[in-house]
Amino acid sequence: MNKGFFEPFRLLVRPTASFQPPMPDASDAADRTFEDTLERLEDIVDTLEDDPPSLDEALDAYEEGVALANECLDRLEEAEQRVSELSID
């Protein structure tokens, strides 16, 4: 995994009341496309970079970001597996 991937989450944070990230629902994961998941992850990173939330909100966002990043990685691994299987045939 790219070590710099989570660098935006290492920001110093200051309190704000404007950021309330929704937690991803496992049942929603199957309904979301890879692109939608990646876009949500990018939104979280942008928010943390542009207007850092309070520490608790940042931790919630980080938790959601990790879940979304893992979801993206799982989907990429599945796609890689499918490409490998098709290449063998």
CA atoms within 13 A on the CB side of 50: 8
Report the CATH number at residue 34. Answer: 1.10.287
Helices and strands in the chain: count of H runs, count of E runs: 3, 0
* Amino acid at position 68, single letter: L
Per-residue pLDDT of the chain (89 residues; tens, 9 = 90+): 444 554 554 443 444 445 545 555 656 777 899 999 999 999 999 988 888 889 999 999 999 999 999 999 999 999 999 999 999 86
**82 is a domain residue:** yes
**20 is a domain residue:** no
Radius of gyration of the chain (CA): 15
Structural domain that includes position 64: 30-89
* Burial class for 84, CB neighbours closer than 10 Å (0-12, 13-18, 19+): exposed
Strands (E) across the chain are located at: none
